[in-house]
Amino acid sequence: MAIKTQQTEPQPEGPQKTQMSDNMKGFFDTRSAAVHAAHLVPHIKPNMRILDVGCGYGSITIDFANLVPKGSVLGIDASDSMVKYAEEARSAGSISNMEVRKMNAMDLHELEDESFDAVHAHQVLLHVTDPVKALREMRRVLKPGGVLASRDMASLFLYPFSDDLKLVYNMYEKLADATGTNSWGGKRTHVWAHEAGFDLEKIEHTATNWAVTTRKEVRIWAESSEEGIPKAAFEAGCATEEEYDLMRTAWKEWAMRQDSWMGVLDGLILCRK
């Protein structure tokens, strides 16, 4: 088994700390504002200043920048490598109204109060140890009347669901418990937003689903997942070496089938300050 246990940089807390690797780039690069921030896009005006929290590889952030030609976007991420990737993507696209900085969502002290028209996070709050603290910070930097949008996984199923894939699923939950994060955070984002100070009547709360169905999507998802949870769980001491191998094989077998697919339900919030 070839597994790297050494970390070369400070990592954000949570199970994603080793999930986001080069293997995943192909998958995350397919994310777009039109699809993954569809609840926020209708509220974006060309002169807005937008904060994208946990921007990852930056594909959604770049779309935001293109939607605000008279405004600007700041993408922040707690991971050095994600900041580097997003900055490389920004530079490759010659995007001049976008900046990427390393910052923790729970501590945005570098940013002024009420300085953004919109604040966005996609699949981030479920990885944060104190999502209410993060949302409080996100609300602080939002202008009065501004809009905050967040979207997080609430539930998923895999078909077929072999015993070894069940091990991966259970390991995802075990890892989140061990790191103090929220495996299915999308179920309760609206509650966190209220705890962070948003009035209940100013929180729109809904859900959307997505799926991995084509052979290409299945292959990309399995390849990117092969390292993710198995490696993170092994490094966190949640999985044995044997379990690590079983989980990786489970993804390989799932990818080789003709009938495999995955369905996901995301919880969405749109909050006005």
| Interface residue list for ligand SAM (CB under 6 A) | 12, 14, 16, 20, 28, 31, 54-57, 60, 77-79, 82, 104-106, 122-124, 127-128
- Cβ nearer to ligand SAM, comparing 14 with 146: 14
Q: What's the burial of 144, exposed, middle or buried (CB within 10 Å: 0-12/13-18/19+)? A: exposed
Nearest to ligand SAM of 123, 260 (CB atom):
123
**Smallest Cα–Cα separation from 54: which of 5, 19, 4?**
19
- Which residue, 41 or 257, is less far from ligand SAM as judged by CB? 41
Query: Is 224 or 246 the residue whose CB approaches ligand SAM more closely?
Result: 224
138 vs 130: CA distance, rounded Å: 13
Question: Minimum distance between the CB of residue 57 and ligand SAM, rounded to whole angstroms?
Answer: 6
**Can you tell me whether residue 50 is helix, strand or coil?**
strand
Phi/psi region, residue 97 (left: phi>0; alpha: psi -120 to 50; beta: rest), is alpha
CA dist 223 → 9, 51, 155, 230 (Å): 23, 30, 21, 12
Q: Nearer Cβ to ligand SAM, position 51 or 158?
A: 51
71: Cβ contacts below 8 Å, ≥ 6 apart: 45, 46, 47, 48, 49, 50, 97, 117
Q: Which is nearer to ligand SAM, 44 or 124 (CB)?
A: 124
Pairing of strands 261-272, 116-122: unpaired
Handedness of CA 196, 197, 200, 201 (dihedral sign): negative
Q: How far is the CB of 51 from ligand SAM (least distance, A)?
A: 11
Give bridge partners of residue 159 from the DSSP assignment: 261
Query: In the complex with ligand SAM, which residue's Cβ is closer, 78 or 246?
Result: 78
To ligand SAM, the closest distance from the beta carbon of 45 in angstroms equals 22
* Cβ–Cβ < 8 Å for 148, 141: no
Minimum CB distance to ligand SAM, residue 172 (Å): 13
**Whole-number Å distance between alpha carbons of 11 and 164:** 28
